[in-house]
Amino acid sequence: MSVTHDELREATLFASLGQEDLDGLARIATAEERGAGDVLFAEGDPPGDVYVVVGGRVTLCMAIDGGEGETCFLTLRRGELLGWTALLRRERVATARVVQPARLLRFGASDLLELCEEDHDVGYAIMRAAFEELADRLQHTRVQLLDMYGTKG
């Protein structure tokens, strides 16, 4: 499936990029429709592709207590980055499962890294956006750790 500039711009990751840069991205991206219940990758898998959610909902879950049960800790929606640890060549730390039929943009991690290497301006813009998105997520995680609904009302 072909990828439009509009779809790319949905991603916070690419929001600041210009026409030409988006062309480059469109060349390495593929779009996918996935149904509810599909597992995009599983905890412990080797690093694979990087995704951007364009529509639908994907949840991230981790096994606790030695794999008996799974706890889900985040859902990702339109515009959000998914599977970013692949950029660091790390194995998957969580399982990504589609909970509402989702449209995704998929990038080979090395393609994306290469694109960033080739044009450092583009690379910087993408990394900066990733940094911001992850910083937000870190902050949200901290708030959750405070167990804010737990102690008082």
Partner 1 sequence: MSDPVLRRLPKAALGALIARLGQTHTVRGPRVRDGAIVFGEVEAAEDLPRGWTDAQGPGRYRLEREGEAVFEGYVVGPDSPKRAHFPAREVLYTAERRADGKVGFAPVEATPGRTAWLGVRACDLAAERVRGAVFEAGGEPRPAARGREDLRVAVSCTKPGELCFCASTGTGPRAGEGADLVLTEREDDFLIEAPSEAGKAVLADLPVEPAEEGAEAWLDAAMEAAEGAMGRAVEMDGLPEKLLGRLDHPRWDEVAERCLACGNCTSVCPTCFCSTTESPVAISATGIGTVEGGAVEVGAGEAAQVRLWDSCFTEEHAYMHGGTLRPTVKARYRQWLTHKVGSWVAQFGTSGCVGCGRCIAWCPVGIDLTEEIAALREGEGELALPVLREAPLEDEDLVPSVAEVVGVRRESADVVTLRVKSERLAGFGPGQFTQLSLPGVGEAPISISGEEAGAIEHTIRGVGAVTKALCALEEGDELGVRGPYGRGWPMEALEGAPVVVVAGGIGLAPLRDALRKMVGSPASYPEVHLVYGARTPDDVLYAQEMLGWLGGPHFRLHVTVDRAAPSWRGHIGVVTRLLDEESVPEGARAILCGPEIMMRFTVEALGKLGVPDERIWVTMERHMECATGTCGRCQLGPYFVCRDGPVFRFDQVRALFGQEGF
Ligand X SMILES: Cc1cc2nc3c(=O)[nH]c(=O)nc-3n(C[C@H](O)[C@H](O)[C@H](O)COP(=O)(O)OP(=O)(O)OC[C@H]3O[C@@H](n4cnc5c(N)ncnc54)[C@H](O)[C@@H]3O)c2cc1C
Q: State how far the alpha carbon of 2 is from the alpha carbons of 21, 27, 56, 84, 149, in Å.
A: 16, 9, 18, 22, 44
Residue 26 site contact among partner 1, ligand X, none (CB < 5 to 8 Å, cut-off depends on kind): none
Identify the residue among 59, 119, 123, 127 touching partner 1 (CB under 8 A): 59
Is residue 152 within the footprint of ligand X (CB under 6 A)? yes
- Residue 18, H or E segment: none
- Please tell me whether residue 146 binds partner 1 under the rule CB under 8 A: yes
Minimum separation from the CB atom of position 60 to partner 1 (A): 8
Q: Give, for 69, the enclosing helix (H) or strand (E).
A: strand 69-76
37 contributes a contact to ligand X by CB under 6 A: no
Which residues are paired to 106 by β-bridges? Answer: 30, 51
**Residue of 93, 71, 67 lying closest to 82 (CA atoms):** 93
Minimum distance from residue 152 beta carbon to ligand X (Å): 5
Taking the C-alpha atoms of residue 32 and residue 44, their distance in angstroms, rounded to an integer, is 23
- Which residues, 16 to 55, sit near partner 1 by CB under 8 A? 36
10 Å Cβ neighbour count for 30?
14
Q: Which one of 57, 111, 123, 133 is in contact with partner 1 (CB under 8 A)?
A: 57
Contact flag: residue 142 with ligand X (CB under 6 A): no
Q: Which residues bind ligand X (CB under 6 A)?
A: 152-153
Q: Which residues bind partner 1 (CB under 8 A)?
A: 36, 57, 59-61, 69-75, 77, 97, 99-100, 140, 143-144, 146-153
